[in-house]
Structure 1
Amino acid sequence: MIGRLGTVVLDCPDPRAAADFYAAVLGLEVIGVEPDWVDIGPAPGGDGPRLSFQLAPDNPAPTWPDPTVPQQLHLDIAVDDIAVAQEKVLALGARLVSDDHGTWRVYADPAGHPFCLTFE
C-alpha cells in the first residue's frame, strides 16, 4: 500500500450547499469550513467516509446521460428502502434522472452532480 484515501472532492459552485445536501443524505456532519472548501465526515472521534466540496464557480453542471458535459464522477449510495430514500433525497433538492435500472436509480444533486441510490 502506498497510501490511503483521505477524501473525495467534488467541484461545485456552492460548497456549503453541496456539503449540507450530502451530510443530510449520508448522516454525516460538516466538520470543516473554509471560504472555498467544506468537509463532511463522521462526528469527531468517529470512523467513516469523508467528502469535500471545493469552490468552482464556473464548473458546468454535468448533463449526463448527454455527453456534452460528462458526469466526471458519481457516488453510489447504498440504501435499505429505495422509495423512502428517494423521497428524502428529492425533498433535499435532488432530482430523479433515470429510474429504469433495476437495483439502482440515478439522481442529480442540487449542483447537478449525478449520484445513484442502490438497493438489493
Structure 2
Amino acid sequence: MALAELGAVVLDCPDPRALAGFYAEVLGGAVEGEGDWVDLKVPGGQSLAFQAAPGFVPPAWPAPDHSQQFHLDLTVDDLDAAEDTVLALGAKPLDAGDRSRTFRVYADPAGHPFCLCAC
C-alpha cells in the first residue's frame, strides 16, 4: 500500500503562465491560475505546475559539476514532427543531432531539459 500519491510535478521558472502555455501546446490540457503558481491539467489526470522563482537560473546540460536535478521524458509517435513543433514553440536543441537514437534532448523556453522519446 502506498503512503502517498503524486500530486504534481512543479517546475520553477521566471514566468509560470508562459511556461505552462508552452507545455499546454506540447502535452495538451488546460492551464489554470495566474500569478506565482499556474497548473497545467494534462489529459489523463496528471498535473504539471509552474512556480515563479525570483532569480531563477536554468539548469546546465550536460554539466557534470552542476546537476540538472531532473528532466521530463515525453513520448511521441514521430520524433521529427514533434521536434519541428517544440522548436517552433520556443524549445532549444541540446542534444538532438544523433538521428539514430530513439530520443532527442531539448530545453524548454525557461531552460529546463526535456527529451522527446520515440514510443
TM-score normalised according to structure 1 size = 0.89
Task: Tell me by how many angstroms 1:35 deviates.
Answer: 1.8
Q: Which 5+ residue runs of structure 2 have no aligned equivalent?
A: none
* Superposed CA offset, 1:39-74 (max 9, x none): 0014xxx64221000000212111110245431111
User: Using a 3 Å threshold, how does the CA distance of structure 1 residues 33 and 68 change in structure 2: closer, same or farther?
Assistant: farther
Query: Cα RMSD (Å) of the superposition?
Result: 1.5
1:83 partner letter = D
Q: Aligned match of 1:72 in 65, 69, 73?
A: 69
Alignment of 1:1-120 (within 5 A): 1-30=2-31, 32-42=32-42, 47-67=44-64, 69-99=66-96, 100=98, 102-120=101-119
Could you list the per-position Cα deviations for residues 47-103 of structure 1 after superposition, in whole angstroms to 9, with x for gaps in the alignment?
422100000021211111024543111100000000000000000000111023711
In structure 2, what is the Cα distance between the partners aligned to 1:14 and 1:60? 12
> Larger deviation: 49-58 or 64-73?
64-73
CA separation in 2, counterparts of 1:82 and 1:60?
28
Where does the alignment leave 5 or more consecutive residues of structure 1 unmatched?
none
Secondary structure of 2:67's aligned partner: coil
TM-score, length basis structure 2 = 0.90
**Are the aligned partners of 1:14 and 1:57 in contact in 2 as well (CA < 8 Å)?**
no
What is the alpha-carbon distance in structure 2 between the residues aligned to residue 29 and residue 70 of structure 1?
30
CA distance in 2, matches of 1:21, 1:54: 14
